[in-house]
Chains A and B, each alone.
Chain A
């Protein structure tokens, strides 16, 4: 049994289900706020004072943030942004970048005499993708008048655009290798046209790797969400307060919850730790999914070590 794949499926399915349905069964909702209250003890014993932030316990399984809002409700609310936007961006990247890569790989010239040598593209590595995304979004995303949904979509478009080149070049290389295989030549000599070769000879060989690519891109997109959030750019927009400078996520998106709680490293650590744990678990889920799929597809082709 492919345990990796199973674990990955289990985690991601659980997370998606939580994003969709947990809102109705969660113990608290987003509007509920803990005020300072005194709970008298039973039989005249000493009571306790409940004040936000409440640590994780029986009433609040994940605790509350410093304003007294339930963290579990926030996580459930933000989950749909985190999960569905990352999947959507990954899908769009592979759809656009993949088609581009297949076309470039199939119709592209074989000679390496290009105007822009590869060293030009290599130097671009020196400027990380998240910095480019940060520069693109920083003027728009902080204290914006746009709605959280349109800001999320905008971010989705930006993150799709910055990810397309790497997907396209990966798929291009794969297609180029496939194009040289004998069955393509056979199909060609039987009179198949380009479209037919692409559709019924190349695509079936690519579809497994495209599927894996989508899942891997989800992990990359989630990583980008997190990196941007560390630099105070949250999915769905950032609300910035001056004096003292504080950043708040407008959507409760998970990376945003991590980013805005970065100050809680020393006290009330659960405010940082619980969103972080959820986020890491999600990434692990998708990672296990991708390596499980890899295992599934590559088991039959594997060569063995001669040593």
Chain B
């Protein structure tokens, strides 16, 4: 099977996955005064059939926010932009920092720096967000200066710096560790010793002998990095009160009239589109690195 067809196969499966995952809150539910879980098939299947029936009437692409009815197409643009900005920034800046710092880390002997990065890598994303917010509040309470906004109060005046830092920090940390690990493995290979024996400079060996052999591993690992990015964006948007796709799913999944199946499905599909765009961006970016450091 050609590569494109294989990749295209992913689309129906992803859609199937989205449709079934979004069924879960309706399916698994405990009614009042009920002490066991019942599978609520009829209601969840009704949600599913309503979704497809709603295409004709446009009902599928309307949702309730509290008690206000909104059009999905009118709203999604703005939400999508916000999410795309942070995911793309996290992906590209994180990748750049990861590659450069990762190379540095594989060569340096300063153990404490490596240890610090490794230790902070274990800190969950939401903890680092809370700690950053904490730091700002602490500085403000000590000096009276609010360095950055702790969270968005309104859409007109969004917090930018802190969410951006949080969106970059975690992918960058992951990439640093990954690149450093692969780089170290590459440096144990015999061709490095051979290149050294030929009298090539250290910088040249690192960038033109080792790095081209590290990049394929980075490319193979892109999906994992994106998985981290997508998990991270949920936490970042929620804790900084940013109006992105994930926030849309969480705040409006349960509206005045109960669970909104159509909205969750549409939101998750938008999220997968975002994933695809970010993947394309990263592939192009790594491709650029490969072209620059090819021999």
Are both chains from one complex? yes
Chain A residues within CB distance 8 Å of chain B:
116-117, 119-120, 122-132, 135-140, 144-146, 219, 222-223, 226-227, 230-231, 258, 262, 265-266, 269, 272-273, 276, 279-280, 283-284, 287, 291, 303-307
User: Closest residue to A283 on the B side, CB-wise?
Assistant: B122
Instruction: Determine if B160 is an interface residue (Cβ-Cβ < 8 Å).
Output: no
CA distance A305 to B210 in the complex (A): 12
A307–B26 contact, CB under 8 A?
no
How many pairs of residues, A versus B, come closer than 8 Å at their CB atoms?
148
Determine whether the beta carbon of B9 is less than 8 Å from that of A128: no
Contact B150–A287 (Cβ < 8 Å): no
B239 near A306: Cβ-Cβ < 8 Å: no
Interface 9-mer from B62-70, B188-196, B282-290: B188-196
Q: Which of B233-277 contact A (CB under 8 A)?
A: 234-235, 238-239, 250, 253, 259, 264, 268, 271-272, 274-275
Known: A119-B6, A127-B272. A280 touches B127 (CB 8 A): yes
Contacts of B134 in A (CB 8 A): 265, 269, 273
Closest 7 CB pairs of A and B: A126-B275, A125-B227, A139-B29, A287-B122, A128-B231, A122-B223, A223-B124
A sample of 26 inter-chain contacts (CB < 8 A) reads A117-B9, A119-B9, A120-B10, A123-B10, A123-B14, A125-B223, A125-B227, A127-B17, A128-B231, A130-B234, A136-B24, A139-B25, A139-B26, A139-B29, A140-B28, A144-B30, A145-B32, A226-B124, A227-B234, A227-B235, A262-B130, A265-B130, A265-B134, A279-B127, A283-B124, A306-B187
| B33 close to A145 (CB less than 8 A) | yes
Can you name 10 extra interface pairs (CB under 8 A) apart from A124-B17, A138-B25, A227-B125? A123-B272, A125-B230, A126-B274, A131-B234, A132-B24, A223-B124, A227-B126, A273-B134, A280-B123, A303-B188
Q: Which residue of A124, A139, A291, A305 contacts B187 across the interface (Cβ within 8 Å)?
A: A305
- Chain B residues with CB under 8 A of A226: 124, 126-127
B13 touches A123 (CB 8 A): yes
Known: A139-B29, A265-B137. A127 touches B21 (CB 8 A): yes
Q: Which residues of A contact B137 (CB under 8 A)?
A: 265-266, 269
Cα A284 to Cα B118 with chains together (Å):
11
* Residues of chain B from 3 to 25 with CB closer than 8 A to chain A in the complex: 6-7, 9-10, 13-14, 17-18, 21-22, 24-25
Establish whether residues A135 and B21, one from each chain, have CB atoms under 8 Å apart when the complex forms. yes
Q: Which residue of A lies closest to B14 (CB)?
A: A123
B224 on interface, CB distance cutoff 8 Å: yes
The distance in angstroms between the C-alpha atoms of A307 and B211, with both chains bound, is 14
CA distance A272 to B118 in the complex (A): 25
Q: Is B107 an interface residue (CB 8 A)?
A: yes
Contact code string B112-138 (vs A, CB < 8 Å = 1, else 0)? 000000110011111100110110010
- A145 near B196: Cβ-Cβ < 8 Å: no
**Does B190 contact A306, Cβ atoms closer than 8 Å?**
yes
B156 contacts chain A at the CB level, 8 A cutoff? no
A140→B29 CA distance, assembly (Å): 5
Residue of A139, A223, A226, A283 with highest tally of chain B CB at under 10 A: A139
In the bound complex, how far is the Cα of B230 from the Cα of A283, in angstroms? 22
Contact of B234 among A128, A136, A305 (CB under 8 A): A128
The digit string for B201-215, where 1 denotes a CB below 8 A from any CB of A, is 010011000000000
Contact of A125 among B119, B190, B226 (CB under 8 A): B226
Given the known inter-chain contacts A135-B24, A219-B122, A284-B119, please indicate yes or no for A276 contacting B34, CB distance below 8 A.
no
CB of A165 to closest CB in B, whole Å: 12
B56 within 8 Å of A (CB atoms): no
Known: A135-B21, A265-B150, A273-B134. A126 touches B230 (CB 8 A): yes
Are A306 and B24 touching (Cβ within 8 A)? no
Closest chain B CB from A131 CB (angstroms) = 7
B9 to chain A: which residues have CB within 8 Å?
Answer: 116-117, 119-120
Alpha-carbon distance A298/B33, docked complex (angstroms): 55
- Write out the residue numbers on chain B whose beta carbons fall within 8 Å of the beta carbon of A120: 9-10, 13-14
- Complex: A125 Cα to B231 Cα, angstroms: 9
Decide if B130 touches A276 in the complex (CB within 8 Å): yes
Residues of A within 8 A of B10 (CB): 117, 119-120, 122-123
A127–B271 contact, CB under 8 A? yes
